[in-house]
Amino acid sequence: MNRVPSRVLAVVAVAALAACSFQNSYEREADRITQAMMANDVRPVEGDLAPSVHLTRVQVAEASDELSAQGKLLSVKETTVNCPAGVHCFDVKFEKRTYLERLRLDENGKVVGWSYHVAPAAAQ
């Protein structure tokens, strides 16, 4: 039986971990919020929201219905195209179409705004 040197295993493990960390912190936050909305359950991201943010069950359910209907979430990539100052913008690709999301944070890094809409046809 061939044995793989432990150094090789360590390099493979580091490479695998690095492959999972291609998203920046804002992309990870947008991804987490999108996943929570798709699941119709904001509990996983409640601690990320500023105290002033109040989401109703209807708002969450509407977002869940719309985003879940787009199929599997494929990627969340930050973009600066047409993005206002102080806002983080993302191209969010689903199996069926692409959305644009915007994320605003307060001075403490808490989410004070998150919005989404279907991307124009050229961005899809």
Domain membership of residue 8 (yes or no) is no
Domain membership of residue 13 (yes or no) is no
Question: Phi first, then psi: what are they for 73, rounded to 5°?
Answer: -75, 120
Domain membership of residue 114 (yes or no) is yes
Cβ atoms of 67 and 95 closer than 8 Å: no
Give 8's pLDDT tier (boundaries 50, 70, 90).
Answer: very low
Domain membership of residue 66 (yes or no) is yes
Query: Does the structure show a pLDDT above 90 at 60?
Result: yes
Give 5's pLDDT tier (boundaries 50, 70, 90).
Answer: low
Query: Does the structure show a pLDDT above 50 at 34?
Result: yes
Give 75's pLDDT tier (boundaries 50, 70, 90).
Answer: very high
Compute the CA torsion angle 60, 61, 63, 64 (nearest 10 deg). Answer: 110
Domain membership of residue 62 (yes or no) is yes
Q: What mean pLDDT comes out for the span 49-73?
A: 97
pTM of structure: 0.80
The count of domains in the chain is 1
Domain membership of residue 64 (yes or no) is yes
Query: Does the structure show a pLDDT above 50 at 23?
Result: yes
Q: Is the sign of the CA dihedral 70, 29, 63, 117 positive or negative?
A: negative
3 or 9, greater pLDDT: 3
Domain range spanning residue 104?
23-123
Domain membership of residue 18 (yes or no) is no
Domain membership of residue 11 (yes or no) is no
Q: What's the confidence (pLDDT) of residue 18?
A: 44
Q: What's the confidence (pLDDT) of residue 21?
A: 58
- Whichever domain contains 80, its CATH number is 3.10.450.280
Which residue intervals of the chain are DSSP H helices? 6-19, 25-38, 57-68
